[in-house]
Chain A
Amino acid sequence: MTEATVTPLQEASFPAAVLGRRGMERLDLLLLTVESLDFNGGEAMLWATQQLGFESLFPNRVELWKRRCHNPLRRSTRRGRLGSAETEALIRLLCAMADRLYPMLHQLLSSREPADLSKQRWALVDQRLRDLIAERFNLRRGAVQRLLSTDHSESIQRQLVLTLALAAGPGGVDRLRASLLDPTP
């Protein structure tokens, strides 16, 4: 059943991307950023999986959550690596969500927006992302503490939003995939 549905992705000559630990952390964190930008992000993701034809890979939100739990920073993490078809589906899902949220990403990144308004928008994103991280990630991990530290969180969040903006839409899939396959420095 799974193989039959995986075939179209592989036939489309997409490179098989099996992410390492760092890549999986980034992918899940980017999906979490999407959720912090969109109150109904969880529902929207499920809807987007159906629109993109991934309903057999992620038939429900539990299956989607289980794939995202391959992120080692999660409270309830799963061992092993995520398969290439599921990874590709998550990357495409993320790019589709970023495309949907692009006007908001543009507002956040634009220097032409009023400074006060921009500051308030970033503060909202910061608060929501912190809440989501505290709820789902293992707070004893050093990497998670760094995400929440006031010294680093601002630059990390800006880089996450910029990554989403540059990966938005079908054109960003290839860029994002290559970026997630970067080696650990």
Chain B
Amino acid sequence: MISMLKLSYRYDQTAARLEVDGLPDFSSGHGDSVIGILSAWRLQLVGAPELEGKRDHLEALMAVVFPYARHQISGVSRPEGWSHHPVSIRPVDGGHQLELTSSQPDVPPLEIKLDDADLADLLRCLDALCSDDRVAIPWPEIINHPLSRRELVERVPLVRRLAAPVFGGVALVVVGVMAMVVPLPSQENKAPTDSVEAPSTDPVSDPSQADPSR
């Protein structure tokens, strides 16, 4: 009876295919063709082994891919879920690396390299699933906010960001050193003139007195 009710929907892109299996949740008033309980999902990415799991794993995948794509669209490459998530994604030389950590203790994490086109395909599959009326599962809400100024500044390479202040600082130091090295104008030249002029300042007692030089 249950096998008859099992529903399966597929979301295809060029390099990605996402399939979800589930059952209608009649207690929530869903129709026969609406998945209300997700039993399994499978994700095929070209050049990578098939991924599968339960709803939690799919939610973990969404929780890193959506924010990562949000940052990418603004030109910011920022790792998502690197330390504490079962799924994480980070930028690697011209592409992206998806890492899936197994809940089993001895299983090494699975690393999948994606290019920009693969990432877009994966994102479109997840978008299609989330907006599909035939899947009535309350996915975690992803709210897209404008990035902070700090995050946007970080997309500029550190060398370029530091170039202007470093150049300014160096210029200031050089000017300061030069100012210390260059000698101040000497005061000694003025002193003798003063001493020479001093004796010659004979008071003219009488302005009407005849000038002896004439």
Contact = CB atoms under 8 A, between A and B. Distances in A.
Interface in A6-43: none
Contact of B152 (A169, A175, A185): A185
Interface string A100-134: 00110111011110000000000000000000000
A56 interface: no
Contact of A175 (B46, B70, B115, B118): B70
B115 A162 contact: no
B75 interface: yes
A181 interface: yes
Contacts of B147: 178-179, 182-183
Which of under 10, 10 to 19, 20 to 34, or 35 or more describes the interface residues of A? 20 to 34
B115 A176 contact: no
B48 interface: no
A175 B75 CA distance: 12
* Majority-rule SS of B interface residues: helix
B40 to A, nearest CB: 23
Interface of B: 14-15, 46, 69-70, 72-75, 94-95, 115-121, 123-124, 126-128, 130-131, 144-149, 152-153, 155-156
18 contacts: A102-B120, A102-B124, A105-B120, A109-B115, A109-B116, A110-B118, A162-B73, A166-B73, A166-B119, A166-B123, A168-B120, A171-B124, A171-B131, A172-B127, A178-B70, A183-B146, A184-B149, A185-B149
